[in-house]
Structure 1
Amino acid sequence: MGAQLPEAGQVMPIFFGPIPRSGTLDRRAAGHCHGGMADRYIEVSLVKRGITCTAQLLDDRAPITCAAVWDALPLGSDVYHAKYARNEIYALFPPFAASEPPLENPTVTPIPGDLCYFAFAGAELGTKAYGYDREVRPGTTLVDLALFYERNNLLLNGDVGWVPGTVWGRITEGLDAMAEACNDLWRTGAAGETLSFRRAG
């Protein structure tokens, strides 16, 4: 018997892959691919608070940055809450790519769940306005890996002006819990807390 065609007005379901029992689509299990590459995921954690979320790398939009971060994982460092950009937490790292990635998939208005990459000269960060002037030397370069957890962010800095960043990842699971933890970090302080990035799996 041949395949049965849908009748007029009938909606046929489209299946993208295995559906877990909870009824939500597990995109990692579905094995989506972009340009022959399977989707890649990482876990982002506030270690002391025990909060972890899952993010998808945007390989199709920021391939060079994604490759640089992926190859450097795992990464972890002291966490800071943003002073100018509003709803952002971030950690600073020495450069880890063979050559600094170009600006890809740029934004100055990141949305909740965006992971952004910035590279700063030490002179841009080594002022008392940021609070870590004793730790950042003018002749150094630092990589800033940032997570944005709420709306209405604007990457405009009073010292240097607009600061576009590369959006290289998007949180797909656990954003609500992470946002709550970020708000707690803002209210109670970041001392002793670590922001970590590692491959999921």
Structure 2
Amino acid sequence: MSSKRDQILLATRDLVFEHGLQDVTMSQVAEHAQVGMGTIYNYFPSKEDLIVSLFNEINVAMTQHILKGYDETQPVVVRVLYLLNSMVRYGLQHPREFLLTNQLAMVPFIHERVKGNVKALAVAFDQLLSDAQEQHLLKAMPPAVMWVLVAGAMNALVEGHMTQQIELDQATIEQATSACWDAIKR
């Protein structure tokens, strides 16, 4: 990481991952990032601002990774499988960020501060579900429920791999993403 801001975010990521959000202090972040306390406060007025910035940075990088190569002109099933595969690949390649995103998304002050942010990933998935509904390809259930079902399954796959409960090779990932599609398709 090149800039002091990046050093601070990386240190925060590592400390929150290792110790949990509540147990991390700004002085620990400063020490881990090898910067002064004043430097942290130049970039982030409070711990809350630092954590929200970390969450946003991770989400932007994750969204870019997942949507890289995504082609909205492809058939619905191809797009669904692509997004689900990309979610799993991101989790396997960036385990700390993946787990932190899921953990931090449940923190009330983060949820409150980012709830108005519309991520490109959410927009792509909403459009995908809309296209699938127009083509009568989906079961009759709210789109938000479908998203929770498939995203939850992908999260569980990655977490199962991280805890060595399951081995994820490409064939297994493809089987799992196909099963998720089967769960929501008509």
Q: Structure 1 length normalisation: TM-score?
A: 0.25
In terms of fraction of residues, the more strand-rich structure is 1
Q: Which has the larger radius of gyration?
A: 1
Greater relative contact order structure (CA < 8 Å, 6+ sep): 1
